[in-house]
Amino acid sequence: MLLETDLRAERQTVAEPLVGWRVWTLYARRRGAEVGLRPIGGRARPWPPLEPARATCSRHGRHPVPGFDCTCGLHATRSLDLLRRARNPAVLGTVALWGRVVEHEHGYRAAFAYPQRLMLVCYLCFWQWGPERSSADAVAVLRGGRLVPLCDGHVELSDRYGYPTRHLVPVRLVEGALLSTYAVDPLRL
């Protein structure tokens, strides 16, 4: 693996992938009960199950991905606290990062990544209290296949947030399907 911290960085090869923290949105795949991970920002492609996600760059033409003068790459942080600013996370997890890796102030951008451990989080609790107090109890199924995990307290307020309670699924079913789809272990904090 290539770990680069700035343009003058010495190239290193290490035997193990780096591990970082990430959040995703969650969606139901068209083929029945399968669920999938989608990056929080933009219109990025879903994370493929059972194969590494591969970074690409569509902004700056040809350069090694991730590039120093670009924001491309698969992002992960070193700190859970930084993720509290993420917009509407549904899944929290650790990821293995490898290939070309650029280290920056808050984490990493990598050429390849794959989830290691995952858990569903109530995004309202995650934003307010952090990951340790954000476990989900049910999942609201929205139009378009988006899945929104909620704790019991926020399920009661789900109509207020635009998540109709008539489309709730127990969290254990969705989390089980997610862990099975990506063949990963649960994250326990």
pLDDT digits (tens, 9 = 90+) for 21-55: 999 999 987 655 689 999 987 677 889 999 999 99
Give me the count of residues in the chain.
189
Residue 26's closest CA among 132, 189, 133, 182? Answer: 182
Residues 89-111 have a mean pLDDT of 93
The helix (run of H) or strand (run of E) holding residue 175 is: helix 171-182
Q: How far is CA 176 from CA 27, 35, 118, 179, 184, in A?
A: 14, 10, 10, 5, 10
pLDDT for the residue numbered 88: 86
pLDDT for the residue numbered 9: 42
Name the least confident of 59-68, 92-101, 108-117, 167-176: 59-68
Q: What confidence tier does 153 reach under pLDDT thresholds 50, 70, 90?
A: confident
Residues 149 and 120: beta-carbon distance below 8 Å: yes
Q: pTM of the entire structure?
A: 0.86
Q: CA–CA separation, 119 vs 124, rounded Å?
A: 15
Q: Where are the beta strands (DSSP E) in 33-106?
A: 35-39, 53-54, 74-77, 91-104
Q: What mean pLDDT, rounded, does the chain reach? A: 84
CB atoms within 10 A of CB 183: 10
Q: Which of 10-19, 38-47, 85-94 has the highest mean pLDDT?
A: 85-94
Q: How far is CA 121 from CA 62, 63, 106, 132, 154, in A?
A: 37, 36, 22, 10, 12
CB atoms within 10 A of CB 81: 11
